[in-house]
Chain A
């Protein structure tokens, strides 16, 4: 009985368990991730050694629950996860891109609408170029376009950034899931197989795996205990994301626009390429595709802005002023690779705008320092600087590149976001063309004149005040920090003076890396009150590059054209060289202020270091003609003459002519030797008869002029020292440099020195002060050759100051005196004879000693060329060579006083006479040239010069000419020395008097830049350059050849003939260059003598709509040359590109979702709960329970029956 009871009991218990499991299935029928469970019933067998009865041995002990089964299909589960990853990837991509696609495709929000409205406005402007309403409308629509482009770019960029944020969030989630799965793995390893706990853990594991599959595709490797190892991607190769309970973090690494996924970023970082599905992959693709969309928008906006600006700048306003750019946007971004080892820096100009379509290029240097230009993909485009330039990219390399150094050239980034309207007024629309060709109505011929280029026209005079303070003091300077054009001096500036200063206080701002660690923000204050604040809180403060980036992004910096660059461990704010026109308002210490916005002291963090020497003032016309300053090297010119620097397309460098005028304006150039206290010393005497002190050799200009004004702080000292130690002249006087004023004493002295060189001039000693009561007039008798003179020295002071007296020379023979006299500024009487009297003795005989003493002429002898006194005549046959006018003469002693003089051919010469004259203590050699060679330098070359007494110079000359200061000696002297010293804070100065007829570009070609001050009389905002017109007249110069015609080009303003060219009756092409004009054109059709044409420039023509029509026609024109499409079509193509991508993604998504749903259905069929089935099970197990109870009841009845047996 007990057995039957046990059997019945086991049935009740098993059924109850089954009912419990069924109930659990029923209540979890809608639970996500729940797998249906079922009990595994087994017959409970009796143990073999328990029963003594054979019958017993054949029966069992009822039923028992062997196991709790969990409905599962591992294969389907894995397949479902793959399908889930794929569908989720596409769903994410589709969702993210759809929004942007809708915005890009909507003409209300993309660029089509604003562009069409702008074209409408341009078209209206073309119809009514003189209507204010049309111009206003065009300005408004230009602003709308710029604003729309900027907003669109910002929107797409924000969506891209949002994708990046989501990737980071998703990776955090992935890492959390992996950690949770690691925990589940631990639990599973400990749990008992078939237990309810285990089954629950497996469900939880699968739920987590499903969640993980939504984020990223992975491969799960399941072990027998239910734990899983996870690998990214679709195989179990590589490093696992999860192994047992050990997880490896997954992180994002961003480098520019490139995204990489890194396993174990804080341990052993390893970039993985196994991110192939799930949201993460979808978001990454979103990020990349939106990046391409941004590039596309940037390219279009840059291309459009460039095209509009090019047209605008090719035209003139209704007032006849050249068009300024309508749009402004950021320039080319050059990024050096972080691993670069060399010091090379690049400046880049793009000669072919269509290259911007490449968007980004790379430059890489090899062992030899040769750059190679490649696409981002690595495809080589050109190698070597010239080949790269031929390709269209002009590179200038500063410094030295190491092998492998690389740079990225980004032509487009930020263009759309940064675009703004640069015009300040609607009147600045260049609606017309500068040139108007007129055909005389009286022409009999039918020829049509065409002119391609003609003359450079100036731009609107404005903006100079933004850089210069209109003062020539050194308290406000402009400093370019890299080579390049500094600024544009617009036409219309009156009486411009530019001065470059040697200004030691010019500041280069250096921030040390360590100092930057504590900054929250950086404020740069400019002297004009503007300031730039760079937020550093979001930057990685250990990275200077972030700060550099911040500076570059700062709007004010951008508007000033700054590029901050990293150099070593310090930050330098430098301006781009060939790339931009720049100017930094700077001043001595303190005017460029860097300080922390949080108020912390930065005094230790900022250092102001001295700038280098001042630069020369170099002015260029837009077509490359250098107007002032020393010439520059061709290589510098190549880097400088770019469109970005303001030069005209095709500008060619023309070195300065060095003349004193420029297009009718007086051009003064004042150049000074470089260096403070620069000293030029002749060394130990004038071994050569000529000593050039060439100022130009010191970096200053070639010509020295002045108007007679003293320059601030400038002093000059010229000292000539005679062999006996007597200082001939010492002039600590600025007027030495003022020799442009003939009335100045300095000029008189120089004249005197000049005249003295080969004449009989005399210079006295310093005139002593006269005693009171002395005569106001002193007469000095002088004889020169056969003539005699009275030199009258008349002083007006009391007591008389002969050092300031006037000097008059009276010829005693009543003729014109050929002797001049004067008082030098330092107070000496100077007498000069003309060169024709060279060699004639000038004597002071017949004067009283008192007169000679009063005028400092005591002891002053003849200036005839003489040697020093020798005690004996040279031995017969000894010789002495001198050169005279390039010829060498030999003087040979013959025992008498007179020497034999022979020329290089050995012939006796009458060019030079030489004889010894007995003097007290010995003899002196006198040399006398023929009058024809008077003034010609005589140079001793013989080794026996000492024997001949040629060790002293009595005569010399000084002059200032285009080569600088030149000193000449009449003969050799080992002892005479010259010393010239300068002190000046000014390096050079250029002055242009009158309104500038065209723009000039002020350029600094020096790497360290210069301080330059500018001063001008006025900036006339309404200044209109004088109109210019050229008449082309056709004539027949030779009646016998009527078919031979002559074209005469005449400047109608000046009446000057620019040039003449021959032509035939059918016209022909011509090129005429001269007098500021540069004609390229031609005449086509019948030409007849008497025909006339006019080409007119610079006139305001409010009704001229030719340029406005070109702006309007841009709507139809190919944006990037032939083979391209119009801007609007390109905008459509860009939006269609994304729309296509979205459509493809959606299609793929539909398929992926179908696949996923189908697999999910199959998987659900295997693992899901069907309530009907559970209801059936419920009934079944209930019946089993009741039956088992009946078994128990039967056993009880049987048991009771046995108990009732008596």
Chain B
């Protein structure tokens, strides 16, 4: 068999080009940290990586929603805690007011009670960082609670909307609306709301009559708020658990992704060395072989 000189050279050069291409790919993999440079190199792995990335993005969004909601619920929990403190103080005032005290003392007690009522109203009107009412349901552009100019009673202005938690609609509750937080206080005479209870108490305190009855309702209000706080605490705990689960899922996704997407540096290093050696050998053998011509001897 006779190998034409041109073909010999071309074959050698082609194989050297091939080796150089391989080395270049290894170099790019090393520098970019990507195992797959073109999707067509490994479509199956490519689509799997993309799928994992999309799942991770969804997970991140859902987790972010949980964290956001957790923060909002934290505000609700804090608000409830402070509200409970106010009611506790009102109960103390009730005890003081139920004794034989001077009219000045009664007036002082009433004034403090009114201040506490205002403080509770401020708490019920807590706004988020953008100034939107937190407890007005969906009507966040309104003050959640405002005094009815006709009756002088503080009334709920919002609606019964409760925001859904995106991505976690069926499993996680969001901030409650003020109507539910401060309404639905169950007393012996039926359902009432916090500000009606407070209004009645202040009237009783001011007049010195009916304080005992008002005190009972304050107890009911305190119990109601405690229940709400417990509910919020439970919701937050559930969210924390879910966030923990999400973290686990994220780790699992990362673990699935890494072997598909990340090159093993040691393997690449070895391949690089092998490639360099092969190329060097090819180049040297080419030089030596091409030099072995009959003409050299003839000359």
Which chain A residues border B47 with CB–CB below 8 Å?
1132-1133, 1135-1136, 1139
Given contacts A116-B54, A119-B57, A1172-B293, contact A1102 B166 (CB under 8 A): no
A783 within 8 A of B: no
Is B39 in contact with A101, judged by CB distance below 8 angstroms?
yes
In the complex, which residues 1-60 of chain B have their Cβ closer than 8 Å to any Cβ of chain A? 1-7, 9, 11, 38-43, 46-47, 50-51, 53-54, 57-58
Among A1102, A1106, A1126, the residue within 8 A (CB) of B141 is A1102
In the complex, which residues 155-199 of chain B have their Cβ closer than 8 Å to any Cβ of chain A? 159-161, 163-167, 169, 179-180, 183-184, 190-191
B64 within 8 A of A: yes
Is A1140 in contact with B43, judged by CB distance below 8 angstroms?
yes
Which chain A residues border B298 with CB–CB below 8 Å?
1175, 1178-1179
Given contacts A438-B159, A1102-B140, contact A1108 B166 (CB under 8 A): yes
B276, chain A: closest CB distance, angstroms: 24
Given contacts A1105-B164, A1143-B43, contact A1129 B3 (CB under 8 A): no
Task: For the complex, give the distance between the alpha carbons of A1115 and B137 in Å.
Answer: 26
Which chain A residues border B180 with CB–CB below 8 Å?
441
Given contacts A1102-B141, A1171-B293, contact A98 B40 (CB under 8 A): yes
Is B61 in contact with A101, judged by CB distance below 8 angstroms?
no
In the complex, which residues 111-154 of chain A have their Cβ closer than 8 Å to any Cβ of chain B? 112, 116, 119-120, 123, 126-131
Is A1171 in contact with B57, judged by CB distance below 8 angstroms?
no
In the complex, which residues 807-834 of chain A have their Cβ closer than 8 Å to any Cβ of chain B? none
Among A1102, A1139, A1165, A1169, the residue within 8 A (CB) of B139 is A1102
Residue interface bits B130-145, CB-to-A below 8 A is 1, else 0:
1011001111110000
Residue interface bits A1151-1179, CB-to-B below 8 A is 1, else 0:
00000000011001101111111011011
Is A1170 in contact with B5, judged by CB distance below 8 angstroms?
yes
Is B6 in contact with A120, judged by CB distance below 8 angstroms?
no
Give the residue name and chain of the A residue nearest to B50 (CB).
A1132
Task: For the complex, give the distance between the alpha carbons of A126 and B169 in Å.
Answer: 11
Give the residue name and chain of the A residue nearest to B294 (CB).
A1175
Is A1101 in contact with B161, judged by CB distance below 8 angstroms?
yes
Which chain B residues border A112 with CB–CB below 8 Å?
50, 53-54
Given contacts A1142-B40, A1164-B6, A1170-B4, contact A130 B159 (CB under 8 A): no
Among B11, B65, B132, B179, the residue within 8 A (CB) of A441 is B179
Give the residue name and chain of the B residue nearest to A1116 (CB).
B58
Is B5 in contact with A130, judged by CB distance below 8 angstroms?
no
Is B51 in contact with A1115, judged by CB distance below 8 angstroms?
no
Which chain A residues border B166 with CB–CB below 8 Å?
123, 126-127, 1105, 1108-1109, 1112-1113
Residue of A104, A1139, A1146 with most partner-chain B CB within 10 A: A1139
Task: For the complex, give the distance between the alpha carbons of A1142 and B69 in Å.
Answer: 46
Task: For the complex, give the distance between the alpha carbons of A438 and B160 in Å.
Answer: 6
Task: For the complex, give the distance between the alpha carbons of A1135 and B138 in Å.
Answer: 41
A324 within 8 A of B: no
Is A1100 in contact with B160, judged by CB distance below 8 angstroms?
no
Give the residue name and chain of the A residue nearest to B69 (CB).
A127
Give the residue name and chain of the B residue nearest to A104 (CB).
B39
In the complex, which residues 1157-1206 of chain A have their Cβ closer than 8 Å to any Cβ of chain B? 1160-1161, 1164-1165, 1167-1173, 1175-1176, 1178-1179
Is A123 in contact with B159, judged by CB distance below 8 angstroms?
no
A863 within 8 A of B: no
Which chain B residues border A29 with CB–CB below 8 Å?
4-6
Which chain B residues border A1128 with CB–CB below 8 Å?
54, 57
Is A120 in contact with B38, judged by CB distance below 8 angstroms?
no
Among B39, B159, B167, the residue within 8 A (CB) of A1099 is B159
Is B141 in contact with A130, judged by CB distance below 8 angstroms?
yes
Give the residue name and chain of the A residue nearest to B5 (CB).
A1171
Give the residue name and chain of the B residue nearest to A438 (CB).
B160
Is B159 in contact with A1096, judged by CB distance below 8 angstroms?
yes
Is A1168 in contact with B132, judged by CB distance below 8 angstroms?
no
Which chain B residues border A579 with CB–CB below 8 Å?
none
- Classify the secondary structure of A's interface with B: helix
Which chain A residues border B46 with CB–CB below 8 Å?
105, 1135-1136, 1139
A223, chain B: closest CB distance, angstroms: 28
Task: For the complex, give the distance between the alpha carbons of A1103 and B7 in Å.
Answer: 77
Given contacts A101-B40, A1100-B141, contact A128 B7 (CB under 8 A): no
How many interface residues does chain B have, given as a range? 35 or more
Is A1101 in contact with B138, judged by CB distance below 8 angstroms?
yes
Is B51 in contact with A441, judged by CB distance below 8 angstroms?
no
Which chain B residues border A1170 with CB–CB below 8 Å?
2-5
Residue of B6, B40, B137 with most partner-chain A CB within 10 A: B40
Task: For the complex, give the distance between the alpha carbons of A897 and B77 in Å.
Answer: 108
Among B11, B43, B167, B294, the residue within 8 A (CB) of A1171 is B294
Is A1172 in contact with B140, judged by CB distance below 8 angstroms?
no
Is B179 in contact with A1168, judged by CB distance below 8 angstroms?
no
Task: For the complex, give the distance between the alpha carbons of A442 and B187 in Å.
Answer: 12
A102 within 8 A of B: yes
Is A30 in contact with B43, judged by CB distance below 8 angstroms?
no
A69, chain B: closest CB distance, angstroms: 15
A438, chain B: closest CB distance, angstroms: 4
Is B51 in contact with A1132, judged by CB distance below 8 angstroms?
yes
Task: For the complex, give the distance between the alpha carbons of A120 and B53 in Å.
Answer: 14
B199, chain A: closest CB distance, angstroms: 18
Is A1173 in contact with B295, judged by CB distance below 8 angstroms?
no
Residue interface bits A222-265, CB-to-B below 8 A is 1, else 0:
00000000000000000000000000000000000000000000
Given contacts A1133-B47, A1135-B39, A1139-B39, contact A130 B54 (CB under 8 A): no
Which chain B residues border A1168 with CB–CB below 8 Å?
2-7
Give the residue name and chain of the B residue nearest to A1169 (CB).
B4
Given contacts A1129-B51, A1143-B41, A1143-B43, contact A1169 B65 (CB under 8 A): no
Task: For the complex, give the distance between the alpha carbons of A130 and B132 in Å.
Answer: 8
In the complex, which residues 941-997 of chain A have their Cβ closer than 8 Å to any Cβ of chain B? none
Is A131 in contact with B40, judged by CB distance below 8 angstroms?
no
Residue interface bits A1121-1154, CB-to-B below 8 A is 1, else 0:
0000010110011011001101100100000000
Among B9, B41, B53, B164, the residue within 8 A (CB) of A126 is B164
Task: For the complex, give the distance between the alpha carbons of A1096 and B160 in Å.
Answer: 11
Which chain A residues border B130 with CB–CB below 8 Å?
128, 130-131
Which chain B residues border A1126 with CB–CB below 8 Å?
54
B204, chain A: closest CB distance, angstroms: 24
Which chain A residues border B167 with CB–CB below 8 Å?
123, 1109, 1112-1113, 1116
A282 within 8 A of B: no
Task: For the complex, give the distance between the alpha carbons of A608 and B292 in Å.
Answer: 89
Residue of B47, B51, B133, B166 with most partner-chain A CB within 10 A: B166
B177, chain A: closest CB distance, angstroms: 9
A182 within 8 A of B: no
A439 within 8 A of B: yes
Which chain A residues border B183 with CB–CB below 8 Å?
441
Task: For the complex, give the distance between the alpha carbons of A913 and B107 in Å.
Answer: 99
List, sorted by A's number, 27 A–B pairs whose CB atoms are closer than 8 Å: A98-B40, A126-B65, A130-B130, A130-B141, A436-B159, A436-B160, A436-B161, A1099-B159, A1100-B141, A1101-B137, A1101-B161, A1103-B132, A1103-B137, A1103-B141, A1109-B169, A1126-B54, A1129-B54, A1132-B47, A1136-B50, A1146-B40, A1164-B3, A1165-B3, A1168-B7, A1169-B6, A1170-B3, A1173-B2, A1179-B298
Please give 14 more A-B residue pairs, beta carbons under 8 A apart, in addition to A102-B40, A432-B138, A1139-B40. A30-B9, A36-B4, A116-B54, A127-B166, A130-B141, A131-B132, A1106-B164, A1109-B165, A1136-B47, A1139-B39, A1161-B7, A1164-B4, A1168-B5, A1168-B6
Using a CB–CB cutoff of 8 Å, the interface residues on chain A facing chain B are: 29-30, 36, 98, 101-102, 104-105, 107, 112, 116, 119-120, 123, 126-131, 318, 432, 436, 438-439, 441-442, 1096, 1099-1106, 1108-1109, 1112-1113, 1115-1116, 1126, 1128-1129, 1132-1133, 1135-1136, 1139-1140, 1142-1143, 1146, 1160-1161, 1164-1165, 1167-1173, 1175-1176, 1178-1179
The 5 A-B pairs with the shortest beta carbon distances in the complex, nearest first, are A1168-B4, A105-B39, A1103-B140, A1101-B138, A1142-B40
